[in-house]
Amino acid sequence: MNKALRYALAVVLAGLGLLLGAQQAMAAADGPIKLEVAGDGGRNVNVLATWKKDGSPVTEVLTATLFAESPDGSRTFGPVPLMSAPEGQNLYNPSELLPDGEWKVTVKATKPSKAQASTKVTSGEVANVPTTEPLTTAKMAERAVAAEESASELPLLQIGIIGGAVIAAVVVFFVLVRSRRAPVR
């Protein structure tokens, strides 16, 4: 085989590798999302959006609303849209602050995928009680182990595609080398 054909084959194989990598990146961005809702200790609510599959931040635009209801059902707040918070790319806050009081806050997302989460929040100028339990050393270790396990898993389809591409490249290489060495008649 001539030199131009080998270069063309190398470009095709490199393109295949890039295509597989891009496909994997897009696959990670698809699927269900997870919302974590918590009060900030004042009158605001923080919503963290991550992908359920791997826990990575949702970097796409999130379309979501917040609705709050008092425990006895006598007062309601919202729905108000969520806006991106300046503190992080996957952190969102409601466009209006919660009125003072106890609230059951529900956040519903519609884009990039549907999700819903609820929590109880105490809203006021001074935080009385933390709305989440403290993060202990055991819980941090548990989260680290879970993150390690999810990061080490490769989908079987991806392994199969990459393996098939490598085998095809090796076969093409040997065919090209053998055809160069074949005697001319």
How many domains would you assign to the chain? 2
Same domain assignment for residues 94 and 120: yes
Asked if 19 and 48 sit in the same domain, the reply is: no
Residue 25 confidence (pLDDT) above 70: no
* Interval 63-88: pLDDT, tens: 999 999 999 989 999 899 999 888 77
CA 23 to CA 114: how far, in whole Å? 22
> Do residues 90 and 147 both lie within one domain?
yes
* pLDDT, mean of residues 113-131: 77
Q: Quote the domain boundaries for residue 71.
A: 33-152
Assess whether 45 and 81 both reside in one domain.
Answer: yes
Cis preceding-peptide flag for 112 (omega within 30 of 0) = yes
**Is the separation of the CB atoms in 82 and 107 below 8 Å?**
yes
State whether 21 and 37 are in the same domain: no
Same-domain check for residues 52 and 23: no
Distance of alpha carbon 49 from alpha carbon 52, whole angstroms: 9
Q: What is the pLDDT of residue 114?
A: 92
> Are 8 and 67 in the same domain?
no
Model confidence at 2: pLDDT above 70: yes
Amino acid 20: pLDDT: 65
Per-residue pLDDT at 107: 94
Q: Are residues 112 and 63 in the same domain?
A: yes
Counting residues of the chain whose pLDDT is more than 90, the rounded percentage is 24
pLDDT score of 19: 65
Question: What φ, ψ does residue 2 adopt, rounded to 5°?
Answer: -85, 170
Q: How confident is the model at residue 127 (pLDDT cuts 50, 70, 90)?
A: very low
* DSSP symbols for the chain: --HHHHHHHHHHHHHHHHHHHHHHHHHHHSS-EEEEEEE-SSS-EEEEEEETTT--B--SPPEEEEEEE-TTSS-EEEEEEEEE-TT-TTEEEESSPPPSEEEEEEEEEEESS-EEEEEEEEESSS--S-SS----HHHHHHHHHHHHHHHH---HHHHHHHHHHHHHHHHHHHHHHHHHHSPP-
Reply yes or no on whether the pLDDT at 108 is more than 90: yes
Residues 172 and 136 in one domain: no
pTM given for the model: 0.52
Give tens-digit pLDDT for 156-171: 677 788 888 999 898 8
Please answer whether residues 103 and 120 qualify as being in contact, where contact means their C-beta atoms are separated by less than 8 angstroms. yes
What CATH number does residue 84 fall under? 2.60.40
The answer on 88 and 148 residing in a single domain is: yes
End-to-end CA distance of the chain: 16
Together in a domain, 99 and 175: no
Same domain, 102 and 20: no
